């Protein structure tokens, strides 16, 4: 891969804006669920959290994140779900949910 085609964290992050939380109707990036993207790892590593520990859509969202990230990088991506608890203040704009 040449320097011009090097995948960046921002490229992956923008691709993941296409993954929506089915209950909150906001994307995983806006919600702050994507905690880390390591484009230098092989395979690319991604760490995320869910809005609730037993989110009924959790497995589906993790799979969507994996598929969308793999399209963005053109290869395998490893997704790790962290135990970190989500809070609306993690959002890019917490006012979108009307809590603040």
E strands present in the chain: 34-38, 44-48, 77-81
Structural contact between residues 11 and 67, judged by C-beta atoms closer than 8 angstroms: no
Please name the residue ranges forming H helices in 24-79: 58-73
Cα–Cα dist 77/8, whole Å: 13
State residue 6's pLDDT score: 82
Contact, 9 vs 39, CB < 8 A? yes
Judge if pTM exceeds 0.85.
Answer: yes
CA–CA separation, 20 and 96 (whole Å) = 14
Q: What is the pLDDT along the chain (100 residues), one digit of tens a residue?
A: 444 468 899 999 999 999 999 999 999 999 999 999 999 999 999 999 999 988 899 999 999 999 999 999 999 999 999 999 999 999 999 888 875 5
Classified as helix, coil or strand, 80 is strand
Quote the pLDDT of residue 94: 86
Cβ(97)–Cβ(88) under 8 Å?
yes
Question: What are the chain's domains?
Answer: 3-86 (3.30.300.130)
């Amino acid at each position: 891969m040449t320097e011009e085609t090097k995948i960046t964290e921002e490229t992956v992050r923008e691709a993941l804006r296409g993954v929506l939380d089915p209950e909150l109707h906001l994307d995983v990036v806006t919600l702050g669920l994507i905690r880390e993207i390591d484009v230098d790892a092989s395979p690319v590593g991604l760490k995320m959290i869910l809005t609730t520990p037993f989110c009924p859509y959790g497995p589906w969202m993790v799979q969507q994140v994996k598929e969308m990230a793999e399209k963005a990088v053109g290869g395998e991506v490893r997704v790790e779900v962290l135990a970190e608890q989500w809070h609306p203040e993690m959002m890019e704009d917490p006012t979108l949910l009307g809590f603040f």
